[in-house]
Amino acid sequence: MKKIDNGGITSPKGFKAAGVAAGLKRSGKKDIAVIYTESPANFAGAFTSNKLCASSIDYCRRVVERSDTIHAIAINSGNANACTGDQGVADTELMASELAKHLNIKNDQVMISSTGVIGVPLPIDKITHGLKQAVDKLSFAGGEDAAQAIMTTDTIHKAIAVSIDVDGYPVTIGGIAKGAGMIAPKMKMPQPHATMLAYITTDAAIEPDCLRHCLVNSLHGSFNRITVDGDTSTNDTVITMANGAAGNPIIKTGAAEAELFSEAFSYVAMNLAKKIVLDGEGATKFVNVTVKNAKSESQARQCAFAIANSLLCKTAWFGADPNWGRILDVIGYSEIDIDSGNISVFYDDLVIVEKSQGTSTPVSDQIAVLKQKEFNVTVDVGVGNSEFSVWTCDLSYDYIKINAEYHT
């Protein structure tokens, strides 16, 4: 696998993209993105588990159920179009029909995403005009513009692309994502088939079920492993498209090529997920929280997320305060099985708690670890052999400033 310099959503063959400013954001920055492939693309999607999901989520789920292929994705930032009733549904469908008209494709070959403030109707006239602008600007070099256009409180755009060799054919996988706050995705695949948004394209020729399987596999080790603030958005979306432009023999489930492709696909998803955490609203530190020797992976996950979402732990990390008592407190109320007299906690390789009590590790050494931009918090609960890691960040003053004034 080779990482492509400055790679992104248009690195795979046949994909164009654009990002334009349609006036949805007060800042005047780009706020409409379109991703397009002329060749029909196999696709798969995963969406938020929030029961008050945006109309774009319901729309995309219907497309997954009734369409074999798609050609395009339209994304607007600055407005989530969530909790906007029948008007929101009509606006989502109008976005799809307008883009389909401009690209001369069917409505059900378009996916729609929105992100921004909840509960405010879309400025639909601005959006329809912006979609026409974006179509006119579609380009094989438009990936960065699209990555910028989907941002809300993000401080950097997030993109990556890698290439692999499949039976002598170069195959490329590229992606973009946005997310900085309201980040605690609980992504689910539809059955049978600040917000976190991610789009992954590939020019691989791959069976639809195999592509879907790759997406399912990637979620566990990427987007379903991150949290910034514990809030699951109404609009979380991951969509992948495969247009077959690489010309490789079709990748089929169970083949060695499928395993190679899945590993590369998961790497792209993992990279994008980590970038979201690193760009968390007001974040100054990336923290890897691992719970090990738990009774089951689900219990390890439950405890790791409890620690990662603890306001007291996150503020201590921000202040480089080695207050390990807060971590033990979370372990105790996380409702998992533990050996209460045999808990260990580590900051990187430093043992700071052993047999549920503090160690003689100098406080100055502990502070030094917590002052790093990235560090590990590892917890051993001593009752099994399962583990799970969560990627999170600290909680700073700036998070409060950003979210206290997000709407106004």
For residue 255, give every residue at least 6 positions away whose Cβ sits within 8 Å of its Cβ, in sequence order, or none. Answer: none
Angle at the Cα of 158 from the Cα atoms of 67 and 34, rounded to 5 degrees: 40
State the burial class of residue 51 (Cβ atoms within 10 Å of its Cβ: 0-12, 13-18, 19+). exposed
Give SS3 for 314: helix
Half-sphere exposure of 78 (CA within 13 A, CB side): 22
pLDDT of amino acid 240: 98
The 10 Å Cβ neighbour count of residue 42 is 22
The model's pLDDT over 71-126, given as tens digits with 9 standing for 90+, comes to 999 999 999 999 999 999 999 999 999 999 999 999 999 999 999 889 999 999 99
pLDDT of amino acid 26: 86
User: Could you give the angle at which helices 85-103 and 124-136 cross, rounded to 10 degrees?
Assistant: 20
Beta-bridge mates of residue 201: 174, 241
HEC string of 42-85?
EEEEEECCCCCCCHHHHHHHHHHHHCCCEEEEEEEEEECCCCCH
pLDDT of amino acid 89: 96
- Of 80, 148, 87, the residue nearest 114 (C-alpha): 80
Return d(Cα 11, Cα 140) in angstroms, integer. 8
- Cis link prior to 249 (omega < 30° from 0)? no
Domains and CATH numbers, the chain: 2-278 (3.60.70.12), 286-404 (3.10.20.340)
pLDDT of amino acid 192: 33
For residues 347 and 377, the answer to whether their CB atoms sit within 8 Å is yes
pLDDT of amino acid 188: 56
Residues of the chain with pLDDT under 70: 180-195, 406-408
State the burial class of residue 161 (Cβ atoms within 10 Å of its Cβ: 0-12, 13-18, 19+). buried
For residues 134 and 42, the answer to whether their CB atoms sit within 8 Å is no
The model's pLDDT over 189-215, given as tens digits with 9 standing for 90+, comes to 544 335 689 999 999 999 999 999 999
Dihedral angle, C-alpha 275, 276, 278, 282, nearest 10 °: 150
Query: What's the whole-model pTM score?
Result: 0.93
Return d(Cα 65, Cα 148) in angstroms, integer. 30
378 counts as catalytic: no
**Active-site residue, from 84, 195, 227, 392:** 195
Please measure the distance between the N-terminal and C-terminal CA atoms of the chain and give it in whole angstroms. Answer: 45
Return d(Cα 311, Cα 327) in angstroms, integer. 11
